[in-house]
Amino acid sequence: MTLLRLAPVALGTLIVPLDSAVNVAFPAIAAAFGLALPDIQWVVICYVLTYGSLMLAVGRLGDIFGHARVFRFGLAWSVVAYLLLAVVPGFGALLACRVLQGVGAALVLGCGPALATQPFPETMRARALAAYAATLAAGSTIGPLLGGVLVEGFGWQAVYWFRAPIALAALVMARHLADPPRAAAREPFDTLGAALLTAAVATLLFAVNRAPAPIAGGFALVALACGAGFVWRSLRAARPIIDLGLFHRPGFAALNLSNAVLGFAGFSVLLLVPFYLARVAGLPPVLLGLVLAAGPAGGMLGAWLGGKVVGRFEARAVLLAGALVTASGLLAIAPWGATTPIPLLLATLLLQGIGVGLFTLAYTDSVTATMRREDRGVAGSLTMLTRTLGVVTAASMLTLIFGATEAALLADGRPPSEAFLAAFTRAFLLAGVLPLLVLPLLLRQR
């Protein structure tokens, strides 16, 4: 069998990580709608909250009704969302369409890993997942580079509409994708459980994003109540969204927690390094994008290496190696200064990316192997959800830590450049230590 069978899935999945192009358009969007800088965060929040909260429910829908069918529906939905985003009359309409885009992303991502492994025997599972992970990393690499060109040549709307033809082409290619026949009767979909889970995840992400504002406590209480309701429902449903008994298996809960922590640590690069490259290194936008792309490029390499070695060594060894390499890369970023040469910047970003790629591949393979083949949609969605939880937490907490440190140093009379670098160093020392803290958890993984 050949990995060329993944072409429709890879092309369709590519539209989601290409959303990194939107980050480049933030200044233009703010100018177009007369927004203050803090308002632009809602462009991210509406999108991430939507696909993050729907992920597990969509994965379950794919397991019941067919991953190929749900995937194609997600592509068609995304085409419409991208075209609507290109013609929105105001900021409120833009946010509403970002929610629609998030629904499409959930439909695509929720079934992508299952479709990636479906045509292949279990012996090729790691290679198929490696190719899928490389696609996600490639999209994250290309997005910022392409976004600058599109915004300059066609305006901020282009970062949305350019993906409509890609989704449409993937939809045409995916028309021959077929789900394997099921001998048993179709399993029921737990609608109440899905609603409680969606509400729990959405309010939890909102609580993290709004911290430390008082409203965050209210969202946290709602998340706790909905989460408790979901557990209660799952223990009584004939076929719950996810079998909670999985988390009783040795190391399974720790494995998922580790992925959230690695997602937190890794997001520090996308959050803080662009400001270093612009303010301290003084790089122009095109060169900034090229340097920043070293991290996702390393992720592609790490996923490829992981696909090669995870079949030869136990997954725990690859997970430990990925965490250690990630920590090494992040700690190597911490001492960056005004005179750090660009080759060293590239090398450290590449190292960190390789670690993330190794870890993500081994983690996805472990979760996929743990769950039934009939539950691959939920398995793939779980891997995306835990990472999203880490990313949203990082976006809130790292911004808080960095901002508080920089403000305190400026209040002490430190020069702005010195205060920035000191806060930058402290943030990456924290980010670099986090992967080391999960090593005891990974040692429990089986």
User: What is the full per-residue pLDDT of the chain (446 aa) written as tens digits?
Assistant: 445 667 888 889 999 989 988 877 777 888 889 876 557 778 877 888 888 888 888 888 888 888 889 999 999 999 999 999 999 989 999 999 999 999 999 999 888 888 877 777 767 777 777 778 778 888 887 887 787 788 878 888 999 999 999 999 999 998 887 766 665 667 788 889 889 988 988 888 788 777 777 888 899 999 999 999 989 998 888 788 888 887 877 778 888 899 999 988 988 887 788 878 878 888 876 677 788 888 888 988 998 888 888 777 778 889 999 999 999 999 999 999 989 999 999 999 999 999 999 998 888 888 877 777 666 667 777 877 888 888 777 777 887 788 888 889 989 888 988 998 999 999 999 999 999 999 988 876 55
Let me know if domain 7-176 sits in CATH 1.20.1050.10: no
Contacts of residue 190, defined as CB under 8 A and 6 or more positions apart, other chains included, come to: 60, 233, 234, 237, 239, 240, 241
- Structure tokens that stand for 146 in this block: 């392409």
Question: Which position has the token pair 């060169």?
Answer: 287
Nearest CA to 261 among 134, 423, 444, 433? 433
Question: Which position has the token pair 């358009």?
Answer: 25
Contacts of residue 112, defined as CB under 8 A and 6 or more positions apart, other chains included, come to: 9, 12, 13, 71, 132, 380
End-to-end CA distance of the chain: 29
Helices 91-117 and 41-65 sit at what angle, rounded to 10 degrees? 40
| The amino acid at 290 | L
Q: How far apart are CA 210 and CA 334, in angstroms?
A: 27
Q: How far apart are CA 307 and CA 305, in angstroms?
A: 5
Nearest CA to 266 among 401, 363, 356? 356
Q: How far apart are CA 394 and CA 68, in angstroms?
A: 33
E-assigned strand segments in 203-248: none
Q: How far apart are CA 81 and CA 92, in angstroms?
A: 15
Q: Which fold has domain 242-446?
A: Growth Hormone; Chain: A; (1.20.1250)
CB 105 within 8 A of CB 51: yes
Nearest CA to 383 among 353, 6, 375? 375
